[in-house]
Structure 1
Amino acid sequence: MNEKTFFGFCANNGFGKVPDLLRAVRQADRDGLELVSMFDHPYVGEFLDTYATLGFTLGATQRITGFADVTNLPTRPAPMPARTLTSLSELSGGRVVLGLGAGFHWDRISDMGVPRLSPGDAVNAFEEAIVLIKKLSGGGPAVTYEGKHYRVNQIEPAPVAAPLVWTGSGGAKSLAATGRVADGWLPPFTADWLSETYRTGRPIIDEAAASVGRDPGEIRTICNIPGRITDHPLGKTRDDDNRWVGGSVEQWIEELTGAVLEHGAAGFNFAEPSGFVEDLTTLGRWATEIVPAVREGIAKEGAGSVAD
């Protein structure tokens, strides 16, 4: 994936939804969307395993990139995502991103037999995991790694480059870890560019990136953005908590174009208010009416800047 603004949608990877999932992903692939995401809650029995489903859908498409939004790290210890993601990358021609979280629903995570970590330890394990996953990718000599939470001895890296790592960080420590070692940020709980989460979180990422000699601009912000696409303009496109609720095609275009040009948003992962996109007409309006117009608006502004 390149540095242009990109657009995707959240698919429902529930049991009994496979035919609908395939229709949606294939339509999105044809319509030029770059991303399809799926939740990763392995303690919820109604969901298919996220990575099995991603592999299945990538095999049924040609261009679209898949990612878990976000991978439940405590139930998937780092060396195994390293193998899974590099394998999916090889099988799909590089069409995979690693969305990663430190773990949130710890009561359910521990119900699966995973030892409960303190918030501080969970973040330390999260940062170690990103470092180790990158070490176990891209070829080179065997890796020995001695961390507090992860230890591997003389493990050969996969010959495939590590995928981009996007995190769902929320706390200050995990945001700083994102700045030091990750490639992108998915603000949690569908927070967007006008949220307090973004306003307070992004500077932490930028400062941490700069502290280790990275360009903060390397860490891109990708927003999960649920909402309705309406036939007529809404009087209010945000609720009382200033969360985007949707609007007409024109209102979506204006909002997202401004998010890129004025706030530095790098991409948008669309969902209906339910959290998924299941209506193919809605998905088509997103992909063929809203997305091309936002791209055009961004390109025009960029051309104007060059001319100036």
Structure 2
Amino acid sequence: MSLPEVVFGFGAHSDIDEGPELLRMAEQADRDGLDLFSLSDHPYLGRRLDAYATIGFVLGRTRHLSGFANVTNLPTRPAPMLARAVTSLSALSGGRVVLGMGAGGLWDRISDMGVPRLSPSDAVDAFEEAIVLVKSLSGGGPPATFRGRHYRVERIEPAPVAAPPVWTGSVGRKSLAATGRVADGWLPGHAADWLSERYRESRPVIDEAAAAVGRDPREIRTVFNFPGRITDRPLPATRDRDGRWIGGSAGQWVEELTGAVLEHGASGFMLFSPDHGSPDPVTLGRWAREIAPSVREAIAKENG
């Protein structure tokens, strides 16, 4: 299964007692035609649902929706085992999985899990190696041998399943460059959008690194984590004094997102509530049934 050129999804941060509500929302999103759902991956928080166990369960309850960790806590999930997990999920779901990857941010908590602490530079090196290794352990072919600084495998049989798309949450220049070299998509950190300084400074780093290794930068998606309110009436201003999106009516959302695609090259949007948590069911329904179809229609009309 391949994702559409422009994808619409929603993000959730689900505690264990919120599991039934997450399942209801995923099933609603699946019926309403959304493309994706995402879960955060913080395994050091005991109250949280495990991201990969939950993704597998939700994929089993849906027919069309794809899932991913936004983003995988890589230091706690070694790349060879992560490759087995995502190719298995892909095989069982008909390709409905994306691999969201991060180098690891909260190292004080990560190291509390018994994981050796890495310097920021080493963490990015391990992150790039992991993406390469996951892809080498996918797609069939002869046994793979990989000898990096952080990962080593000897003659391991790849899964006979294509690697899922790899989207990263890269922030620093070194990590952004790694995204350009080896990843398939980018989720800008801190919910930065296409009008932000972070985006304007970061995306060229990805593009230059991609071009330097002979890749077409346009093949690397930018998918935005996008919090905001959907209101019944238009708001006087859809952005705050700092230029961050706060929301508006369905029409204001459609205008904003259509412009993001046509003028700034956006290729996806993951809806979050204004507090960066899970959207409520009513908001999710409006996102899926009103806004996403209208943006798709406007894009199709502009593209002829």
Whether 1:173 and 2:168 are equivalent positions in the alignment is no
Counterpart of 1:301 in structure 2 is 302
**Normalising to structure 1: TM-score of the pair?**
0.97
Counterpart of 2:275 in structure 1 is 274
Structure 1 position 153, deviation (Å): 1.1
Counterpart of 2:228 in structure 1 is 227
Structure 1 position 253, deviation (Å): 0.6
Structure 1 position 4, deviation (Å): 1.7
Per-residue CA distance 1:9-68 (angstroms, 9 max, x = gap): 012421111211111000000000000000001111111110000000000000000000
Counterpart of 2:290 in structure 1 is 289
Counterpart of 1:99 in structure 2 is 100
Secondary structure of 1:166's counterpart equals: strand
Counterpart of 2:126 in structure 1 is 125
Whether 1:68 and 2:57 are equivalent positions in the alignment is no
Counterpart of 2:24 in structure 1 is 23
Secondary structure of 1:100's counterpart equals: strand
Whether 1:250 and 2:258 are equivalent positions in the alignment is no
Secondary structure of 1:8's counterpart equals: strand
* Paired residues of 1:257 and 1:298 also in contact (CA < 8 A): yes
Counterpart of 2:109 in structure 1 is 108
Secondary structure of 1:300's counterpart equals: helix
Counterpart of 2:145 in structure 1 is 144
Counterpart of 1:35 in structure 2 is 36
Structure 1 position 2, deviation (Å): 3.7
Whether 1:79 and 2:89 are equivalent positions in the alignment is no
Structure 1 position 277, deviation (Å): 2.8
Instruction: Using the TM superposition, name which of 180-189 and 273-282 deviates more.
Output: 273-282
Counterpart of 1:211 in structure 2 is 212
CA-based RMSD of the aligned residues comes to: 0.9
Q: Distance in 2 between matches of 1:32 and 1:91?
A: 20
Per-residue CA distance 1:102-139 (angstroms, 9 max, x = gap): 01111111111111111110000000000000000011
Q: Distance in 2 between matches of 1:224 and 1:148?
A: 32
Counterpart of 1:4 in structure 2 is 5
Counterpart of 2:265 in structure 1 is 264
* Paired residues of 2:10 and 2:279 also in contact (CA < 8 A): no
Secondary structure of 2:238's counterpart equals: coil
Q: Distance in 2 between matches of 1:228 and 1:46?
A: 27
* Paired residues of 1:8 and 1:269 also in contact (CA < 8 A): yes
Q: Distance in 1 between matches of 2:183 and 2:279?
A: 30
Instruction: Using the TM superposition, name which of 120-129 and 8-17 deviates more.
Output: 8-17
* Paired residues of 1:277 and 1:283 also in contact (CA < 8 A): no
Q: Counterpart of 1:70 in structure 2: which amino acid?
A: V
Whether 1:191 and 2:198 are equivalent positions in the alignment is no
* Paired residues of 2:3 and 2:35 also in contact (CA < 8 A): no
Structure 1 position 196, deviation (Å): 1.0
Secondary structure of 1:63's counterpart equals: coil
- Matched residue pairs, number? 303
Q: Counterpart of 1:58 in structure 2: which amino acid?
A: L
Runs ≥4 residues deviating over 4 A: none
Aligned-residue sequence identity (percent) comes to: 69
* Paired residues of 1:6 and 1:34 also in contact (CA < 8 A): yes
Structure 1 position 236, deviation (Å): 1.8
Q: Distance in 1 between matches of 2:165 and 2:127?
A: 15
Q: Distance in 2 between matches of 1:216 and 1:115?
A: 34
Q: Distance in 2 between matches of 1:61 and 1:157?
A: 27
Structure 1 position 279, deviation (Å): 1.6
What residue ranges of structure 2 are gaps of 5+ in the alignment? none
